């Protein structure tokens, strides 16, 4: 639902940091709900949207934030609101059913072939390969789409950051932003794409 508010050309302030939980490598780490909402935009020519804690009256502005934990699969139940996570570099995002609950998950890879990356991938692949049929619902790599398709930069744009959105209807979006040089807490939404899910085999061998 919140993809309606992630408008190209809009400026937005993403959460500065997520939760910090203690975990072991290879854990499926269930994060407590971190409810946020996109506020009404402000500004005349330049529209800016703030993100604030809590749940608002308009459902299409509400979402959960999912934190990246390198070496683990962080997860939150999809309980009627979309899930946003990032920034992304090479991690996979997945939707799956585990122990009777449908989760949005962030497979927390780090540097290639590092112990954290190996642990996160092994934990996910072991689950996906052995779960009952239908348990792996959808998934994608949000950063991969933009490798050869990065939107043009503007003079005020700084480094690019990619975010991933998993919706309550199991749709997958990749959101391309540029951090602003003039205000490093502010991001310009430069692209948003509805992405197809990878196949079950690919999602079981990431």
How do residues 159-203 score in pLDDT, each as one tens digit?
999 999 999 999 999 999 999 998 888 999 999 999 999 999 999
In the predicted structure, residue 60 carries a pLDDT above the cut 90? no
pLDDT for res 18? 74
What lies within 8 Å, CB to CB, of 42 at 6+ separation is 48, 49, 50
Q: How many CB atoms lie within 10 A of CB 30?
A: 16
Residue (of 71, 49, 79, 73) closest to 61 by Cα position: 49
With a pLDDT cut of 90, the percent of the chain lying above it is 72
Mean pLDDT of the chain: 92
What lies within 8 Å, CB to CB, of 52 at 6+ separation is 36, 37, 39
- C-alpha torsion angle, residues 109, 113, 119, 122 (rounded to 10): 100
- Token look-up 């779960």 returns 131
In the predicted structure, residue 15 carries a pLDDT above the cut 80? no
Average pLDDT over residues 61-70: 93
């Amino acid at each position: 639902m919140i993809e309606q508010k992630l408008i190209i050309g809009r400026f937005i302030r993403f959460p500065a940091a997520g939760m910090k939980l203690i975990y072991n490598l290879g854990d499926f780490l269930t994060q407590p709900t971190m409810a946020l909402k996109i506020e009404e935009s402000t500004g005349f020519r330049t529209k800016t949207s703030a993100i604030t804690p809590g749940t608002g009256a308009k459902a299409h502005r509400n979402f959960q934030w999912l934190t990246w934990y390198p070496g683990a699969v962080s997860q939150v139940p999809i309980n009627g609101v979309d899930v946003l996570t990032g920034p992304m570099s090479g991690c996979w995002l997945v939707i799956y059913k585990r122990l009777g609950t449908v989760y949005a998950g962030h497979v927390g890879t780090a540097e290639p072939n590092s112990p954290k990356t190996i642990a996160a991938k092994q934990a996910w692949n072991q689950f996906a390969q052995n779960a009952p049929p239908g348990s792996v619902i959808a998934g994608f790599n949000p950063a991969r789409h933009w490798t050869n398709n990065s939107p043009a930069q503007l003079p005020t744009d700084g480094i690019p950051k990619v975010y991933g959105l998993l919706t309550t209807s199991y749709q997958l979006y990749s959101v391309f932003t540029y951090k602003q040089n003039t205000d490093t807490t502010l991001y310009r939404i430069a692209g948003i794409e509805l992405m197809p899910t990878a196949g079950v085999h690919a999602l079981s061998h990431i």
